[in-house]
Amino acid sequence: MKVIIVEDEPAGQQFLARILKENFPELKLMCIADNVPDAVRLIRECRPDIVYLDVEIKMGSGLDVLAQTEDIAFDVIFTTVFNSFALDAFRYHAIDYLLKPLSKAQVTAATQRFLSGSAAMNREKIASLMLLMQQAAAQRPKICIPTVEGVELVNVADIVYGSAKGNYTEIWMNNGSKILSGRKIKEVEDELPRHIFFRIHHSYLVNLNYVTRYQKGRGGSVLLYNGYELPVASNRREDFLTWLRKGVSF
């Protein structure tokens, strides 16, 4: 069976690809897309059986991908950071979804349901969800970051990590840009969701979705999707590892 991953977070792409490769030899990952035009083109070219589809991607949304591939039959497993209202809608329509941050257990369970034929998707279900999902997409969590020039409004999911610089904090985004916030790192930490972000060090705050590996050491360190390495303080290591295991199984 052919698979396509449509996901705009590199860490999410790598995690899904690894779980499928290690646990489902019958699935063949054809390609990965992070934006609407590429996703539509690759679905048309590869004709997948299953698409792991992030609801919010570059240059549009997962809904746009579905709208532009209505003539092609494939099953969908959604990934989302949506609120409880949207998740209730998924459950009501008996549609499988993966709630970020992803875990090995939920990816494996959802995939097994599809392979057993117990979670077949159909276009009627998708159509009935369109409006609800569009409403939920408008509620994607954002944070206001005060800067020297004013205030920046950014998507929480796009923040890779924060680095303390005295009374300021450098906030690094997944597009490679950096925002210098006028807030101390503790103030930034308090604004972010605790199930996604962790203060691994006095000077560093990291987004779980971009962590690819934890390396042992006195405190250890984490490797990010872009190759950056950040230290983990020895007095925070155990709490960090406990938190990490709740989110992603490495």
At 152, which CATH number? 2.40.50.1020
Looking at the fold, whether 125 and 167 belong to one and the same domain comes out as: no
Please tell me whether residue 96 adopts helix, strand or coil conformation.
coil
* Residue-by-residue pLDDT tens, the chain, 250 positions: 999 999 988 888 999 999 999 999 999 999 999 999 999 999 999 999 999 998 778 887 787 898 889 888 888 888 876 544 455 556 555 566 787 778 889 899 989 988 887 555 555 666 666 665 555 555 557 788 888 888 888 888 889 999 999 999 999 998 888 999 999 999 999 888 887 899 999 999 999 888 888 998 888 999 998 889 999 999 999 999 888 876 554 4
At 91, which CATH number? 3.40.50.2300
How far is residue 185 from each of residues 7, 78, 124, measured CA to CA in Å? 29, 33, 47
The count of domains in the chain is 2
Tokens coding 15: 């995690």
Looking at the fold, whether 104 and 181 belong to one and the same domain comes out as: no
Looking at the fold, whether 69 and 35 belong to one and the same domain comes out as: yes
Q: What are phi and psi of 18, to 5 degrees?
A: -70, -45
User: The pTM is what?
Assistant: 0.53
Contact 183, 162 (CB under 8 A): no
Looking at the fold, whether 162 and 105 belong to one and the same domain comes out as: no
Looking at the fold, whether 103 and 15 belong to one and the same domain comes out as: yes
Distance CA 67, CA 11 (A): 26
The alpha carbon of 162 is separated from its chain's Cα centroid by a whole number of angstroms, namely 18
